[in-house]
Amino acid sequence: RRQKPSSPEHKRDLGAHGGALSVSRNDTRSFFNFSQLVLSAGHLRSPPVLKHSKITYFEVEILDVQSKKQICIVDKVPPSSTLLDVKHKFHKACPQWYPSRVGLQLERNGPYLKDSINIQTLAVSSIITLYFTDLGQQVGWTTFFLTEYTGPLLIYLLFYIRLSTIYDQVESTKNFRHPVVHLACFCHCLHYIRHLLETLFVHKFSGGHTPLKNMIKGCAFYWGFTSWIAYYINHPRYTPPSFGHRQVSFAALAFLMCEAGNHFINVTLAHQNHSGSKACFPSPTYNPFTWLFLLVSCPNYTYEVGSWISFTVMTQTLPVGIFAFLMVIQMSLWAQKKHKLYLKRFYPEVRRKAAMIPIIF
């Protein structure tokens, strides 16, 4: 029996057949168009996972600064690594050299590179060549200053109690001690106690380490002069200053003012970058001891020299005068060196200031 073309089953079959044909033709056209688009656009982009998986590593070749012989190669150094990371990897390869005693240079006669330098800033290619120098045994700056300042404090007290092995016991008990001897002991101990406390709680050391031989030189200088100074001031035959009580009083007052000024300047320098993100030269505050920043760029050295000059006038002793003269020379050299750094960083604010003493330095 023939079905009529208008029956619903027939229409449904024709619709399904025609729909299948139209879908297949549309798929063919879309695939053809897509292939033409790919051919005209070029290569497909790689997935982002593959792109980020390829990291460029550096190889650091370390040569001896004297013989130019290769010591080792530190491989697979990420671009984000610092020079301190390279020193730690170098220490693993060569355990006899600790990171603190490793000095690395880009050139044989160049300066030593800082530990905070990013290794990527030194790279010209994937291989970086550095020259190694053994800096010797190192000590921390805190240990350096604690050792240097503890010695004079204890040495002076040994001379102050007049040990029988140093002075004649008969003369020590017979002769009367002038009050300036006790005052000098108080001022001397106060000076080095302030240094010790500032080393522990005020100063911030950025270098990290210094050679052991520098600590030996500093201790020999301070400890030796302290022994010479304390021997004369605490001697049973010590004579008081020429102008008596007036000279001692004015000199002691100047000494205490210089000690206070030195402390407040060190506190100001330690907190100079806490006011904002941008570094700026410390400006005077309501504290009168900080007003010296208006005249000099290194007032802490000015106060340090003032303390020893005042101590010389108060005791009127030749060893103290020689020590104060050497301190003036040393402090002026340090102040001029720091003043040059300040001129590079804070030129408009420092250009009219002196380094340590107005007009002279």
CB count within 10 Å of CB 107 equals 10
User: Which residues share a beta bridge with 62?
Assistant: 72, 130
Highest mean pLDDT among 20-29, 164-173, 175-184, 252-261: 252-261
Task: Write phi, then psi, for 62 (nearest 5 degrees).
Answer: -110, 120
Which stretch of DSSP H or E encloses residue 113? none
Inform me whether the pLDDT recorded for 20 exceeds 60.
no
SS3 content of the chain, % helix, strand, coil (to 5): 60, 10, 30
Instruction: For residue range 141-182, list pLDDT tens digits in order.
Output: 999 999 999 999 999 999 999 988 999 888 888 888 999 999
Please report the DSSP string for 50-92 in residue order.
HHHH----EEEEEEETTT--EEEEEEEE-TT-BHHHHHHHHHH
Instruction: For residue range 224-250, list pLDDT tens digits in order.
Output: 999 999 999 999 999 999 999 999 999
Inform me whether the pLDDT recorded for 8 exceeds 90.
no
Pairwise CA distance, residues 291 & 314, whole Å: 26
pLDDT of residue 350: 83
Determine whether 305 is exposed, middle or buried from the number of CB atoms within 10 Å of its CB (0-12, 13-18, 19+).
Answer: buried
Are 181 and 314 in contact by the 8 Å Cβ rule? The answer is no
Inform me whether the pLDDT recorded for 36 exceeds 60.
no
pLDDT of residue 197: 97
pLDDT of residue 49: 47
Instruction: For residue range 44-60, list pLDDT tens digits in order.
Output: 555 444 444 456 888 99
Pairwise CA distance, residues 301 & 262, whole Å: 8
Instruction: For residue range 292-330, list pLDDT tens digits in order.
Output: 999 999 999 999 999 999 999 999 999 999 999 999 999
Instruction: For residue range 185-202, list pLDDT tens digits in order.
Output: 999 999 999 999 999 999
Of 259, 302, 268, 303, the C-alpha closest to 287 is 268
pLDDT of residue 21: 42
Are 56 and 127 in contact by the 8 Å Cβ rule? The answer is no
CB count within 10 Å of CB 39 equals 8
Instruction: For residue range 120-135, list pLDDT tens digits in order.
Output: 888 888 899 999 999 9
Q: Percent of the chain at pLDDT above 70?
A: 82
Place of tokens 């024709």: 14
Are 296 and 281 in contact by the 8 Å Cβ rule? The answer is no
Instruction: For residue range 84-108, list pLDDT tens digits in order.
Output: 999 999 999 999 888 988 999 999 8
CB count within 10 Å of CB 229 equals 26
Of 20, 94, 86, 34, the C-alpha closest to 58 is 86
- What's the pTM value of the predicted model, to 2 decimals? 0.77
pLDDT of residue 344: 87
pLDDT of residue 52: 45
CATH classification number, 58-136, choose in 2.60.40.420, 2.60.300.12, 3.30.70.100, 3.10.20.90: 3.10.20.90
pLDDT of residue 287: 94
Place of tokens 């005077």: 284
Determine whether 188 is exposed, middle or buried from the number of CB atoms within 10 Å of its CB (0-12, 13-18, 19+).
Answer: buried
Average pLDDT over residues 334-353: 87
pLDDT of residue 34: 57
pLDDT of residue 57: 86
Q: What is the mean pLDDT of the chain?
A: 85
User: What are the boundaries of each domain within the chain?
Assistant: 58-136, 137-195+206-238, 240-360
Confidence of residue 16 (pLDDT cuts 50, 70, 90): very low
Average pLDDT over residues 107-116: 88
pLDDT of residue 80: 87
Are 236 and 167 in contact by the 8 Å Cβ rule? The answer is yes
